[in-house]
Amino acid sequence: MVIADFSRVLAAPYATMMLGDLGAEVIKVEQPGRGDETRTWGPPHYQDEATYFLSVNRNKTSVQIDLSTGAGREQARELIARADVVVENFKPGTMKKFGLDYESLGRDDLVYCSISGFGSGKGADLPGYDLLVQAVGGLMSVTGPGPYEPVKTGVALVDVLTGLHACVGILAALRHREATGQGQLVELDLLSVLLSSMVNQSAGFTLAGSVPKPMGNRHPSIAPYEVFPTADQPIVLAVGNDRQFRRLCSVLDVPELATDERFVTNADRVVHVDELFEVLQARLRTRPAQHWFETLTPLGVPCGPVNDIAHAFALAESLDLDPTATIDDMTLVANPIRLSRTPVTYRLRPPKLEQ
């Protein structure tokens, strides 16, 4: 499978990298002399290359094409003529201006994926930046310590989720083509992906009219389900049922909490979450986080220290999850998909612009 990849930045390049890992030949089209914007998004850098660009562009080759010229557009059409899939995330209307949109190409067997910030209709002129979508799409309204302190996620999560949804759409369209010979247009926008990906928070609004507010690290429907202090570093408790709560109370030497009418059921604990926090944090402060992790985990009580990324990779290594992959001299994050018959491959390091 050949993918003509006209995408840049994060959402669509993440999608095409995932497909490249799964075996697709991905040809990345870049602006001559400049390339993908993320080539300049640093620090940090690996040698002289931005790690941002390197994070989503392995298993691709790069070709420089100036789409503003007739010769460049003809070169692009020649590339598309031998491609199974086209992926682009320009501002809506841009590829049509070049005569390279799905309708203008007129190929009935082509799978064509377009990603935008707010769709190709009334939102076509709005800039599709992840931070902006997190703000207007409601994610920041439920993230942070309080209603006047909205917080974005620590990574461009909406872009990543959109890339994953794009993969699903492209693979579904390819399966349809395999069955019928017909391609199709696959369209995604960041706002719709975010609204879908907010799952229970979104459904609480559509089904019950509930407009959620930020709760810090708490959960609107489960308790205890938040961050607690210990003798050295914060720890997370994610107690999902009454049985786990009883075991937690036993380990913390407060078995009476399990029969306290304020805390007997999960619904009770959610109502009295402030009181519950005060009792639990007083007990958890008496020992370091690792002690609680090693004591509670074997009993089936979900908990763990709040790791930084270095410790998170170390944890994955200790669990034999192989979180990294090496291409030439470069260590990148491994693709998390594990396939027994057709495993992912790491064939090409992210291309330099001159390649």
Residues involved in catalysis:
159
- The tokens for 90 are 């320009």
Which of 46, 64, 54 lies closest to 10 in space, CA to CA?
54
| Three-state DSSP class for residue 339 | coil
Q: Is 109 exposed, middle or buried (0-12, 13-18, 19+ CB in 10 A)?
A: exposed
Give the count of beta carbons closer than 10 Å to the beta carbon of residue 23: 13
What secondary structure letter does DSSP report for 229? Answer: -
| Three-state DSSP class for residue 157 | helix
d(CA 156, CA 234): 24
Residues 194, 132 contacting (CB under 8 angstroms): no
Packing angle between helix 190-197 and helix 157-180, nearest 10 degrees?
Answer: 100
Which of 61, 65, 45 lies closest to 53 in space, CA to CA?
45
Residues 51, 45 contacting (CB under 8 angstroms): yes
**Structural element, H or E, at residue 71:** helix 70-81
Residues 296, 288 contacting (CB under 8 angstroms): no
